[in-house]
Each structure stands twice: as C-alpha cells, then as structure tokens.
Amino acid sequence: MIKKAVLCTKLTPIAFALMTAYSVNAAEVLDTVVVTSGSVETAISDVAATMWVVDQDQIEREINTGADLKVALGRLIPGYDFGGESRTNYGQNMRGRSALVMIDGVSLNSTRGISRQLDSISPLNIARVEVLSGATSIYGAGASGGIINIITKKATSEETTTELAIGASTGMNGSDNFTKNIGVAVSGGNEKLSGRLSVSYESTGASYDANGDMILPDVTQTDLQFNDTIDIMANGEYQPDDKQLLSVTAQYYKSQQDTEYTPYLGVYLANAVGSSDITISDELDLEEQPSTERLMLNAQYSNKEVLDHSLLAQVYFRSEEMQFFPFPSVDPYNSNGYGYLYGASVQKTEAMGAKVLLSKQMDDIEINYGIDSEIETFTADWLVYDIASALASGGVIFNQTDTVERYPDVDTQKIGAFTQANWEATDNLKVSGGLRYQYIKHGIGDYIGISQQLIYGDSADTIEGGTTQYSEFLANIGAIYTINKGQQLWANLSQGFEIPDPAKYYGNGTYSDSSLVSSINIEDNELEGVKTNSLEFGWRLNKPKYDVQVAAYYSLSDKTTSYDSTTYAIVVNDDEKRIYGIEGQTTYRFNNEWYAGLQAHLIKSETKSNGSWSDLEAETASPSNASVRAGYDNFDYGAELQLQTLADYHEENDETINGYSLVHFSSYYTLPLGKVSFGIQNLLNEDYYTLWSQRAQILYAGYNENLFSYKGAGRTYTVSYNAEF
C-alpha cells in the first residue's frame, strides 16, 4: 500500500476509486514528486533506485491498530525490519544495514549511535514518509542501508483549518492497560503567508502480553510503558512571489516515563545471572526516569532564479537529551567494596548545520551541486546510585550519590561537496551520476575510567584523546529505461560511508590502581571508517488492475563491526561483510473497492573470515519478512486484514532469532464530520518475543536472558476519531 513510481505508485484504494470515478489522468495521479532522492523535487519515475512513499492515510491506518511509528513503518516499508514495541529502534535495519532518519531533511542520526530516531514525532504532524532504499552517496555518511525522510505537514489552505485527532487503546487487562492520545492543529493564512501550529499528547499505560501478564519493563534501552509524550510543532511559510519560498519549522518533543514498575533482580542481583524467572516489582524508587527530549529548528529558502540557477538553502539546529534506566555492571576494581556499579547514562547532543544547493537545466542535462556542513557536540554523564541500597533492594531503590563521565566527549565537524547530473539520453533512457567529497573530523576528549573517577578523581591517569580525520570520495551512477508507458527497468551503483560509534570505541582502558596499563586511544588504535558498495537492479510495472515493484541488490562493506561481549564497546575488524537480497511489493485491485497486496524482503547477511563466508551474527542480522493485505475500501467505509511474518534466522554459532506471525485488523467509517476508526493489533493473540528482545538476549549474554524477555503486546483494541474542519 505504498506509493511508488509514476509507473507503479501504490495507490490507496480510495485514491484508486477517485481516479476511476472521475477519470483523472493516471500519469498525474501516479507522478509522485519527492525530494529525498537528491534534495530537489523529482518524480519517482525519474529516480533510478527503489523509492517508496508512505502517505498520511497509510500511517494513520497502522497507528489506528495500536502501532507506534516504528512499528507502522516496519509494516509499510518492504526492506525495513519489523519494529519492536520499546523506545529503541536499535537493530531495525533497512536492507540489513543502518538507516539515516531525517525530519524535513534534518538528520536525527548522531555521531553517538543512540537508536531513538523514531521516538521523535507525533503521527499528527506527518504528511508523508519518503524512503530511499540502499546505500547512497548523496547524503554523505550514515546511510548505508537507506534513508527515511519524514515530511511534516504544512498549511495547505488559505482558510483557517483545524485538525483534531483523539484515540484510545486497551488490551482489556485492567485499568492500567490503557493508552490515550489527543492532538489539535490549526493552520491557515493567505497567498503569501501561511502557518500551522499543532500540539499533541499521548499517555501510555502498562502493556500486557498474550497471556494477560504485564510485559517485563526494559532496563536496557527502556520502553514506553507509563510514558507521557508531548509534541509541539510550528511551521510558517512566506512566499513573496511564485519564485521564492521561505519555510521555518520549530519542534519541541518530549517523551518521559513515570512508572512504579521494574524487574526485581533479587537481593545482591541473585536473579540477574543464572536462569531464574524475573518478577516485576511495583515499588520502584527512581527520581530521574528514562526520557527523550528534543528541540529542533529548521529554515529552508528556495529561489528559482539566482544567477540562472535554482537555489535551495537550509540551516538547522537540533538539541537533544536522552536519559536511560539504571543498569548494573561488574566493577573489576571493586571501587565501592561490592564488586558492582549501578548507574544510568544521560547523553546530550547538539548539532547545527547548513546546506546550499544550486540546480541548472541545460538542454537535456540537469546539474545539481552544492555544499553542506555540520558541527556536533556530544557529552555523556553517568548518574551513580548508592550501591548498597540498589543491591539490597534487588534493583528497585535508587538514591543518586555522584555524577561522572560516561564516555569521552566527542566534537564532530563535517563538510561535504557534491555534484549530481541527470541526463535524458533518449526519450526512453535517463542516466544519472554524481560524486561527493566527504570530510569528517572528530575531536575526542581525554577520559578516565568510571571506577578510577570514583576512587581517584582527576588524579588517575587519563586515556588520551585527540583528533582523527576522514576524507572519502563517494560516487553513484544509475540509469532508468522506460520500456513502455507502464513499465520501467533501472540499475544503480552507489557508495555509502559510515564511522562506527567513536564514543563506544575510544575511552576503554585497563588500570592498575590509578595507573593506566593499556587503552584504546587515537594514537595507537585509530577508528577506521566503513565503506559500502551497493549494486541494485529493479523493475516497475503498472497496469489498471495491478502494479509491481521489485528490486534485487548486493552490498559489500570492507569491514565488519561488532560489540565486545564484556564492555559492549565497538569492535571493528577487516572482515568484509556482504548483504544481498530481493525486496518487492505488489497490489491487485479486483474492482474499485476490493484489493489484495503482498510485500516481501528476502535477505542474506554474511561476513568473510579466514577466506570463507559465514552467517552474520544474529544480534545484528536482519531476518527475511513478508506481509499480505486484503481489504475493502470505498468513499464511506473500509476495512483491511493484514498478516505479517518474520522468518527464523540461524547462524553457525547456534544463535537464533525465532520468527513469528501476526494478524492485524483496521477499519474506518466516514461521518458527516470526520471519521471514526477501529483497529485490532495482534488479532489472534499470538505469544511472541519481539525482535529487539531476542537481540538483547544475545547482546547481554553475561546476564540472565529472562531479564530481556520482552514479549510483544497481546490483542489490543484501538478506537480513534479524526476530523478536519
């Protein structure tokens, strides 16, 4: 149900019915224009790559089954992994690799790889989501798997318009198993000046599994049980004439947990190791609870006539703070006499950047070129809790006693210069290609190990910081061939580049008392970047009754990254990594109302060691998945049934991801004003562990795996009302 190309855009049944009933030109309906493919407006049919567009109605339909944004996108984007139901989107890969997530072209990815990019915006503020699959050189570092660009709503009419969204969800497991949300937006203006202001609020309760048991709270990446979220967004647009447009957007987002529940780990963590069952305590005493807080400012200016070019300029600022839950760790230096430390990290990032792009049309060739830059600062504290009360209470009572540095400070400077050319070689053949130069500089601060900070303070030896620099040329070339009015072939080769998390790489050291014995530092162990070459072949077909888009891809990286099982630090080795697969989607329309659809992603992930290929570790590999939909939709009401299936994943070390299958139902009925929707998530009440839960059990293998047994929500009912007036 995703919009695709001029030739194969996936229409909602409503859109298809409208097209048929009113005889709208099919090319006009299907000619979806996107900016994510190259930062300038481009019809998807001119993009020699796999491009998906998820519209507001599609996201709303998934949200109205009880899903959150990352779960909704996992159902709607063929190459994107299924989303978990916690706060994190860690391990939710695109084509088996990390994705760059943006809001209106502003990156939410940071140098420190914190996976909360989709804990970022209310669905009320989303107009559509543009998705570019595969590694790309267009946006520089961090997009080896693809790009997810969330496009926010703007004022669409000169008349004053009010949007209202109200919803509630429950699994019928008691009064605390209740989630409610409300959002209001007002927009309007005139032909030159318009704006939109929105406020949305959501309060979640407890989550229960298929057996009617409360889902274990997540003390690693944290979850969204008993959580309050507020999203305030304002946008203004000024258009003095038909050639210029200035758009300014401001957003404040905060997602804050306030819970009394936590896993009970037993006195002196007796249950944290071994295989004991983990129970849930309702006596949590913790003042600072997990949260995500973000402020973002974004200004864009476009002018169609600047020195015989079209100009696009953008400046932005992003500030965010992310709080985690206290977690126990072994203290090899026994700094407090207990052999354990208990702390929670607070990680802060500030980024500001600018981009200038010029575009010029010369006969059959369009040339785009420009420059972008960003400055980012990262700091992290570790809130230290009284170890005696934390251990005696089984990880329930936390009294903060100190604050130390969690990671070395990281200051990052990025600058890139790029050019992209699009050539209409013939009426049927279009060729595109580009080159990007990317420069990245990291300033790593001096650092002292946590135990040494607590015992010796500043008198302990420091792990020396310093600066490290990277410069890479990244290229892309592609071609798209139109076989006939309803069919296209395309191919592309593109390079991606990323730098593994420097905060989790540097600053690891071994001490003898206060003296540093060995360490990971810039002088002796400079962190290497990872370059990925990605090849893709695709086919699009659009017919009145059905459409298909399918792409085969192969991507090869020159290095493989993993995590140290003891310190959880990043490990980079020279083993190549390859990921290849097929992703696709098709919809068949039986008539103007009835339809069925299928999407699938078949993937293979391997790493090369000692000259031979073996399966990638299960904690990072993406399993294959598929979804089937069938529904009825007309102008007044509609219903859809969806089956999503995650395949098993087995690798040579016997680590396994167990797949599962879920059924969801959604429906709506149009009222004289607005519409009411009803949905059921996990209709068959399947009992399963989320993908993140299974990854966590592998990542934290030194602990009792039951501590990370995060089940998916059982059958959940959602009712909502949406109106615009």
pLDDT (0 to 100) of residue 7: 34
The CA–CA distances, whole Å, from 264 to 80, 261, 269, 397, 706 equal 34, 9, 9, 10, 11
What confidence tier does 478 reach under pLDDT thresholds 50, 70, 90? very high
pLDDT (mean) for 325-333:
93
Residue 355 maps to a domain: yes
Of 259, 251, 203, nearest in space to 231 by CA: 251
What confidence tier does 565 reach under pLDDT thresholds 50, 70, 90? low
pLDDT (0 to 100) of residue 166: 97
Residue 286 maps to a domain: yes
Residue 580 maps to a domain: yes
The kind and range of the H/E element at 611 are none
Supply φ then ψ for residue 392, to 5 degrees.
-65, -30
Supply φ then ψ for residue 160, to 5 degrees.
-70, 125
pLDDT (0 to 100) of residue 408: 96
Residue 588 maps to a domain: yes
> Which residue matches tokens 């760059």?
100
pLDDT (0 to 100) of residue 654: 81
Q: Is the pLDDT of residue 572 over 50?
A: yes
Residue 521 maps to a domain: yes
Other Cβ atoms closer than 10 A to 673 = 10
Q: pLDDT digits over 653-673, tens only?
A: 788 999 999 999 999 999 999
The CA–CA distances, whole Å, from 387 to 26, 105, 122, 281, 343 equal 67, 44, 38, 18, 9
What percent of the chain stands above pLDDT 70?
A: 95
Quick one: DSSP state of residue 461?
A: P
What domain range includes position 29?
13-724
Residue 151 maps to a domain: yes
Q: Is the pLDDT of residue 3 over 60?
A: no
Q: pLDDT digits over 143-155, tens only?
A: 788 999 999 999 9
pLDDT (mean) for 209-237:
97
Q: Is the pLDDT of residue 9 over 70?
A: no
What confidence tier does 538 reach under pLDDT thresholds 50, 70, 90? very high
> Which residue matches tokens 């946008």?
235
pLDDT (mean) for 479-484:
94
pLDDT (0 to 100) of residue 20: 28
What confidence tier does 14 reach under pLDDT thresholds 50, 70, 90? very low
> Which residue matches tokens 């299974």?
694
3-state SS record for 326-364? CEEEECCCCCCCCCEEEEEEEEEEEEEEEEEEEEEEECC
- 147-179 as b/e: b if 16+ CB within 10 A: bbbbbbbbbeeeeeeebbbbbebbbebeeebbb
pLDDT (0 to 100) of residue 12: 32
What confidence tier does 5 reach under pLDDT thresholds 50, 70, 90? very low
Domain count along the chain: 1
Cβ(88)–Cβ(95) under 8 Å?
A: no
What is the chain's alpha carbon radius of gyration, rounded to the nearest angstrom? Answer: 25
pLDDT (0 to 100) of residue 702: 86
Average pLDDT, the chain: 91
Of 669, 666, 661, nearest in space to 627 by CA: 661
Dihedral sign for Cα atoms in the order 506, 512, 513, 515: negative
Map residue 124 onto helix, strand or coil: helix
Q: pLDDT digits over 425-456, tens only?
A: 999 999 999 999 999 999 999 999 999 999 99
pLDDT (0 to 100) of residue 113: 83
What confidence tier does 39 reach under pLDDT thresholds 50, 70, 90? low
What does DSSP say about strands 291-306 and 146-152: parallel, antiparallel, or unpaired?
A: unpaired
Of 127, 337, 332, nearest in space to 249 by CA: 127
pLDDT (0 to 100) of residue 1: 42
pLDDT (mean) for 456-468:
95
pLDDT (0 to 100) of residue 26: 34
pLDDT (0 to 100) of residue 22: 27
Q: pLDDT digits over 92-143, tens only?
A: 999 999 899 999 999 999 998 888 999 999 999 999 999 998 877 777 667 7
Task: Supply the CATH number for residue 111's domain.
Answer: 2.40.170.20
pLDDT (0 to 100) of residue 560: 86
Residue 2 maps to a domain: no
> Which residue matches tokens 């207990």?
338
pLDDT (0 to 100) of residue 329: 92
pLDDT (mean) for 74-83:
94
Q: pLDDT digits over 259-272, tens only?
A: 999 999 999 999 99
Residue type, 520: I
Rounded to 10 degrees, the C-alpha dihedral 69/74/78/79 comes to 110
Residue 719 maps to a domain: yes
Q: Is the pLDDT of residue 24 over 70?
A: no
Q: Is the pLDDT of residue 4 over 60?
A: no
- Model's pTM, two decimal places? 0.93
Report residue 358 CA to chain centroid gap: 29
What percent of the chain stands above pLDDT 90?
A: 80
Q: Which residues contact 640 (CB under 8 A, 6 or more apart)?
A: 61, 629, 630, 631, 632, 633, 665, 666, 667
Q: pLDDT digits over 598-657, tens only?
A: 999 999 999 998 889 999 999 889 999 999 999 999 989 999 999 999 999 998 778 899
Other Cβ atoms closer than 10 A to 474 = 25
